[in-house]
A and B are shown apart, each in its own frame.
Chain A
Amino acid sequence: MSVTTPSAAAPPSAPVRPWLQLAIIWALLLTVPLWLPLLGGYTAIAARVIIFALAAMSLNLLLGFTGVLSFGHAAYFGLGAYGAGLFLKYVTASTPLAMVAGTLLAGISGTLFGRLLVRRRGVYFAMVTIAFGQVCYYIAYKWNDFTGGYDGLRGFARAPLDFGLFKIDITGSGTLFYYFVIAVFGLAVGLQALILRSPFGRTMLAIRENERRARFLGLPVERHIWLAFSISCFFTGFAGSLYALLNNFADPSTLNYVMSGNLVMITVMGGMRTFWGPLLGAVLFVMLQDYVSSMTTNWMFFVGITFVLVVLVFPRGLMGVLQKRLGA
C-alpha cells in the first residue's frame, strides 16, 4: 500500500453544494420579470437568453460532455425554427404541435446525418458538420416559394395554449410567454440532467475522457457518439422551435454558420465542462449583442474581443471559474 494522505477521502475538485447553485439559478430565472426592468431590460430579451442558453446547453452535451466538436449546430437550431414556422403556417395553429414538428424535423435530420459522420473525428468532424449546416442554409435561402427565401418565413404566429378546460394566452410579448419559455426550458434541461446522470450519460463522459479506454471497455463508441449527437440535435431543434415562436418569424440566418459559431462561443465562454455554463454564456452574449449593437454596428468586434479575453483568462469559462472560486 502506498502512502495515504489524511485528505485522501476528500474530493478536491467536486463542485461545491450543487443544490445551492441550482436554487440560486432557478430563483433568479423565476423572478426575472421582477428585477430585469429595474436594470433597464425587458422580458422578451430574457426569453431570448433562455432560448440561446437551451441551444448552447444542447450543443454542450456534445462539446463539453462527449468531447465531440460540432460546429454546425445552427442547422438543427434553424431546422427547429423552420419546422415550427412551417407547421404553424401551412398545417395548423397549434403551438405545442408546432414545437413537436420543429423538434422532430431537426432531430430526425440530425440522426440521419449523424450516421454519416460518426467515424470522423476532431477537425474533420467539425468540417462536415459545418458543411451540412450550410446545405440547410442555402436550401432555406433559395427556396422562395416555401421558406420565404432571403426574407425569411413570415405569416405565422404562436397560438394560445389550449388545455381544453382553459386557455393560456402566450401571444403577448410579456410575462406569460416568458414563463412558458421557462417552463419548457426547465423540462428540457431537467431531461438533459437525467441523461447525463444515467449510465448512458457516463459513457459520454468516458468517450470525452479517453476514447481508446472506452473502446477497450467494450463500448461501441461510434454508436454512443451517434446517439449523443442525435439527442443533442433533438434538443437544439426544440430550442430552435422556441426561437421561431419568440420572433413569430424564421430567418435563414438561424441556419448560417455564424449562428453555429455563436452557439460555440456561448458554450465556451460560459464553461464547456459545466452544466449551467452555457446559460451564463448566453446572458453575456445576448447582453453584448443587445447593448453594444445599440451603440455600434460593429458589435461582433466587441463580442469577439470578449470571447478571446474570456478564453485566455478563464480557459474553463465563466462558470468553471465561478465554481472553482466558490469551491475554494
Chain B
Amino acid sequence: MSTTTPKLEVTNASKHFGSLVAVSGVSMRVESGELRAIIGPNGAGKTTFFNLITGFFPPTSGDILLDGQNINKVPAAGRVKMGMGRTFQITEIFPELSVRENARIAVETGLGYSLRPWLNATDKKRVADACDEVMTLANLTVKADRLVGELSHGDQRSAEIAMALALKPSLLLLDEPTAGMGDEETYQVTGLIRRLHRDSKYTIVLIEHDMRVVFHLADRISVLAEGKLLAEGTPQEIGANEHVQNAYLGKAE
C-alpha cells in the first residue's frame, strides 16, 4: 500500500434495494492519475457502484472517501463541487441547446455564476475561454453552434464529457462511454479519454463493456460479479485470471 492518500477510496460498500443486494462489500483504492476500468457482466452492480460513489443514493453500509475525506453524507451536488465529474450510460445532455450553450451552462455552474443576473466583461471572457478550451479538448469546436441533439452519438458523448470537464473535476467517472457505438465512434471517444488521461493527467474511473477499450486504456481493472469484487489487477493479470475468465471473459463472446 502506498502512503499517499488515494484519490478515491471505497471501503466495504454495500447497497441493498429491499431484499436485493446490488453491491456487496466492495472495496477499492484509486490513486491520483490512475485510469481504472470496472468491468463485469450485466447486473453485476457496476452502475449501482457508480451511483454510490457519485452520491445518487447513499450506501447501505460502508464508506466512500474522496482525497481521504469521508463523503458519505455529501449529496450529489456537493460531490460535484468537490471535484467529481460524471457521465451516464445513457448520454445526459441538453439536447435542444447548442454545443456551446451546453458547455456554457456547465462552465458557469462550475464557476459558481449560476445565480448571477448578469456577467461583467471579465467574467464573460473567462466563461468564453473555458468553453473554447473544453470544446477544443473534445474536438467539437467546429460544431459549437449545432444543437447537441442533432449530433452523432459519438459527438454527443464527447459533448457530455466536455460538460463534465468544464467543471474542472479532479476525478472523472464515465459510465460506459462507448456504449452503442460503431468502431469509428468508439475510436473517437477512446482517443479523447486517452488524451485526458495521458496529456491532461485526469484520474478516471470508467465502466466499460468493450474489452478492446478496457485493455487498451486501463492502468488497473476491477472485476465485479453479482455485486462482489471478483478480482483486481493490471490488464495482464486480469487477462490471465482464471476466475475472471470463467465468470466473464470466456462467456462474454
Contact residues of A with B, CB < 8 Å?
1-2, 4, 8-14, 194-195, 198-200, 202-203, 205-206, 209-210, 212-220, 224, 227, 273
Contact = CB atoms under 8 A, between A and B. Distances in A.
Nearest to B187: A2
Interface stretch (B11-19, B149-157, B206-214, B225-233): B149-157
Contact of B119 (A199, A209, A224): A199
Nearest to A202: B105
A216 B146 contact: no
Interface in B123-154: 139, 142-143, 145-147, 150, 152, 154
Nearest to A191: B117
A163 B86 CA distance: 57
A210 B105 CA distance: 12
Contact of B163 (A200, A202, A213, A273): A213
Given A1-B139, A200-B117, A212-B92, A217 B163 contact: yes
A323 to B, nearest CB: 14
A35 B167 CA distance: 53
A194 B147 CA distance: 22
B94 interface: yes
Interface stretch (B32-40, B75-83, B237-245): B75-83
Contacts of A206: 94, 97, 105
B155 A220 contact: no
A216 to B, nearest CB: 5
Nearest to B124: A199
B108 interface: yes
B25 to A, nearest CB: 26
Given A2-B152, A194-B117, A198-B117, A213 B94 contact: yes
Given A13-B147, A195-B117, A219-B114, A209 B95 contact: yes
Contacts of A224: 114-115
Interface of B: 54, 76-78, 80-81, 86, 88, 92-98, 101, 104-106, 108-110, 113-119, 139, 142-143, 145-147, 150, 152, 154-155, 160, 163, 167, 184-185, 188
Nearest to A11: B145
Contacts of A209: 93-97
B80 A218 contact: yes
A218 B143 contact: no
Given A13-B150, A199-B114, A219-B109, 4 more contacts: A11-B145, A199-B116, A200-B114, A200-B116
A2 B184 contact: yes
B155 to A, nearest CB: 7
B167 A213 contact: no
B94 to A, nearest CB: 4
Contacts of B54: 216
A214 B101 CA distance: 13
Contacts of A219: 77, 109, 114
B55 to A, nearest CB: 9
A319 to B, nearest CB: 16
Contacts of A213: 88, 92-94, 160, 163
Contacts of A198: 116-118
A10 B93 contact: no
Nearest to A213: B92
A220 B116 contact: no
A12 B114 contact: no
A216 B76 contact: yes
Tell me which of A13, A205, A210, A224 has the highest count of chain B C-beta atoms within 10 A of its own C-beta. Answer: A210
Contact of B142 (A4, A11, A195): A4
Tell me which of B113, B117, B155 has the highest count of chain A C-beta atoms within 10 A of its own C-beta. Answer: B117
B173 to A, nearest CB: 10
27 contacts: A1-B188, A2-B155, A2-B188, A4-B143, A9-B142, A9-B143, A10-B145, A11-B146, A12-B147, A194-B117, A199-B108, A199-B113, A200-B116, A202-B104, A203-B105, A213-B93, A213-B163, A215-B76, A215-B77, A216-B80, A216-B88, A216-B92, A217-B105, A217-B106, A218-B77, A218-B80, A218-B110
